[in-house]
Amino acid sequence: MLLKYAPGATHAPHHSTKEWVDRISARHLFDEGWNKVRERIFENQKRLGVIPKDTKLSPWPKDVLKEWDQLTAEEKKLFIRQVEVFAAYVAYSDHEIGRVIQAFDDLGKLDNTLIIYINGDNGTSAEGGPLGTPNEVAFFNGLNELPVNVQMKFYDVWGTDQTYNHMSAGWSWMFDAPFSWFKQNASRLGGTNQNMVVSWPARIKDKGGLREQFVHVIDVVPTILEAAGISAPEMVDGIKQAPIEGTSFAYTFDTANAKAPSRHTTQYFEMFGQWALYHDGWFLSTKVNRAPWEVYGPANPDPLNNQVLELYDLNTDFSQTTDLAAKNPQKVKEMKEMFVAEAKKYQVFPLDASVAARIVAPRPNITAGRTEFVYTRPMTGLPQGDSPLLLNTSYTVTADIEVPQGGAEGMILTSGGRFGGCGFYLLKGKPVWLWNMVDLERLKWEGPDEVAPGRHTVEFDFKYDGLGAGTLAFNNFSGVGRSGTGTLKIDGKVVATRKLEKTLPAILQWDESFDIGSDTLTGVNDADYKPPFPLTAKLNKLTIKVDRPQLSPEDIKKLEESLKRAADAK
Ligand SMILES: [Ca+2]
């Protein structure tokens, strides 16, 4: 029997229960701040023997993150709340994992059960930015430093369904001790090095033993196969399988092999154009050139070569603190060639250092090449990727409805939800178009009168002012998130007009769907209605026309010139 238990924890949003948050808060674990607590974690790691005694604690990144003593009282209060909610989430999920293991014990099966416990697949995430955020959807729309006074409005509901919360990156750096940097930084051990616990009482006799062999997460499957005494299938349902690429670490189970050399000798790492190569204890790494919260702005145009390369000897330098590249230029050259070979072998090329531009870039889907979408009946649950995207474009949404005697209410069309999205609905009979600007502001167009009984056309038209997502191909963000003017009409007559100075540039709340005739999960405006908010008028037809901006030859010329200037400046 194989069980893979993978909770959402501790990915953002950090959602625990009040019981766990109260339990953690009562312990005041973080009151001394991230610098002091980090030093304590480091001392504990040495005391427990999980890091070598001579490990150096990587320095605090003063140019990127403030030291705790530099913070205001309000910042400290907010950040402690953020980390207590995160810690409650960790403790809560750890408790639930304990229940799963207990269930095997209750069955009398624990002795002959192999348990592999990995509490992350990367370092701690820093996508909350230096200040944390009550809403990660805001982060992915470029609002990566929400002022503390804005965040304090969410203090009491932090970690509940009213927030899509993440913590300050100061805590993330702390949790990655003794290493530096975070998830996304594939060239730093703070972005990749995780502890792992393996238990199998019937087979592993070295209870409490420590192992330091280099092991990668891709080694888990070969280890399970070896433990179970089976080999990977060559064919599944008539389809030839790709080879398993990891190396079993079952040899480390034997006490005699406690100090055996690692059998996994070479491994590449890459994410968003930051890369590294491990080989026999040596570690070639690109110098970090972008903090994980810096997702907008031009990307490194040549992530393979436009890098500062650093070299570490992890045999003697556990925490990647002493750069030996200048002393070993030949080794650097050889390892870069080895990275290129590994990257070719495992389909890593082409390297792409862009982040936000990749989020915005259209994926192959059913909407490709279409400009008009007609829906003839209510439906829910359409993934946003298969629905017309209304960002960075002009569009017209037209609903042909029949209002019964006594009037109607309910959702005509919605996409996204509480943390960012749009809605087109009848509220106490009046038509409303609403843009939820990542839960910080709600921009509303509302007709002054109820739509009378009978057949009507309700329409929302938006004229976008920017050049659109086409500028991203030139490493240029000027086309997205720009202004535009929305007009709400009933039977062709204008009832509300409003100009937006800015629009959402990247993404709606990603775990909500595109719904017609009702609203699933969260609503875009809790003040107006509660989902599912079914439409009580009859929907004859809903038409969405999208008029995406096209770059003119002059626009393209200008963008090419600015791209060339940027490249020359490097
Ligand atoms: Ca919804």
Distance 59 CA to ligand 1 centre (A): 44
Distance 529 CA to ligand 1 centre (A): 11
Distance 161 CA to ligand 1 centre (A): 13
In this prediction, residue 119 carries a pLDDT of: 82
Distance 412 CA to ligand 1 centre (A): 12
Q: What is the DSSP letter of 256?
A: G
Distance 532 CA to ligand 1 centre (A): 8
- At residue 226, does pLDDT exceed 80? yes
Distance 420 CA to ligand 1 centre (A): 10
Distance 422 CA to ligand 1 centre (A): 9
In this prediction, residue 358 carries a pLDDT of: 85
Distance 56 CA to ligand 1 centre (A): 49
Answer whether 508's CB lies under 8 Å from 420's CB.
Answer: yes
The DSSP-derived string for 340-386 is HHHHHHTT-PSP---SHHHHHSPPS-TTTT--EEEE-S-EEEE-GGG
Distance 514 CA to ligand 1 centre (A): 8
Show the tokens assigned to 63: 């140019």
Distance 448 CA to ligand 1 centre (A): 25
- At residue 569, does pLDDT exceed 80? no
In this prediction, residue 570 carries a pLDDT of: 60
Give how far Cα 389 sits from Cα of 132, 322, 417, 490, Å.
28, 48, 15, 23
- At residue 318, does pLDDT exceed 70? yes
Distance 275 CA to ligand 1 centre (A): 38
In this prediction, residue 144 carries a pLDDT of: 85
- At residue 507, does pLDDT exceed 80? yes
Distance 248 CA to ligand 1 centre (A): 44
What does the H/E/C string look like for 187-244? CCHHHHCCCEEEECCCCCCCCCCCCCCCCCHHHHHHHHHHHHCCCCCCEECCEECCCC
The angle at the Cα of 41, spanning 38 to 42, to the nearest 5 degrees, equals 85
Distance 432 CA to ligand 1 centre (A): 16
Distance 329 CA to ligand 1 centre (A): 56
Distance 527 CA to ligand 1 centre (A): 14
Query: pTM of the prediction?
Result: 0.94
- At residue 71, does pLDDT exceed 80? yes
Mean pLDDT of 162-188: 97
Answer whether 523's CB lies under 8 Å from 515's CB.
Answer: no
Q: List 394's β-bridge partners, or say none.
A: 547
Distance 539 CA to ligand 1 centre (A): 19
Answer whether 145's CB lies under 8 Å from 9's CB.
Answer: no
Distance 457 CA to ligand 1 centre (A): 23
Chain-centroid distance, C-alpha 140: 8
**On the CB side of 209, how many CA atoms lie within 13 Å of its CA?**
19
The DSSP-derived string for 13-75 is S----HHHHHHHHTTTTTTT-HHHHHHHHHHHHHHHTSS-TTPPPPPP-TTTS--GGGS-HHH
| Amino acid letter for position 274 | Q
Distance 226 CA to ligand 1 centre (A): 46
> Which has the closest alpha carbon to 176: 38, 271, 317?
38
Distance 384 CA to ligand 1 centre (A): 11
At residue 421 the predicted structure's pLDDT band, cuts being 50, 70 and 90, is: very high
Distance 375 CA to ligand 1 centre (A): 18
* Rounded CA separation 72/76 (Å): 6
Residue with tokens 């990257």: 343
Distance 522 CA to ligand 1 centre (A): 4
Q: List 546's β-bridge partners, or say none.
A: 395
* Rounded CA separation 513/526 (Å): 17
Distance 478 CA to ligand 1 centre (A): 30
* Rounded CA separation 155/472 (Å): 36
Distance 536 CA to ligand 1 centre (A): 18
Mean pLDDT of 506-526: 97
Tell me: the pLDDT tens digits for 483-505? 999 999 999 999 999 999 999 99
- At residue 383, does pLDDT exceed 70? yes
* Domains of the chain in sequence order: 1-110+124-193 (3.40.720.10), 265-354 (3.30.1120.10), 372-553 (2.60.120.200)
> Which has the closest alpha carbon to 264: 245, 247, 252?
247
* Rounded CA separation 278/267 (Å): 5
Q: List 351's β-bridge partners, or say none.
A: none
The angle at the Cα of 90, spanning 249 to 196, to the nearest 5 degrees, equals 10
Mean pLDDT of 155-159: 97
Distance 374 CA to ligand 1 centre (A): 20
At residue 567 the predicted structure's pLDDT band, cuts being 50, 70 and 90, is: confident
User: Beta-carbon neighbour count of residue 93 at 10 Å?
Assistant: 18
SS3 255: helix
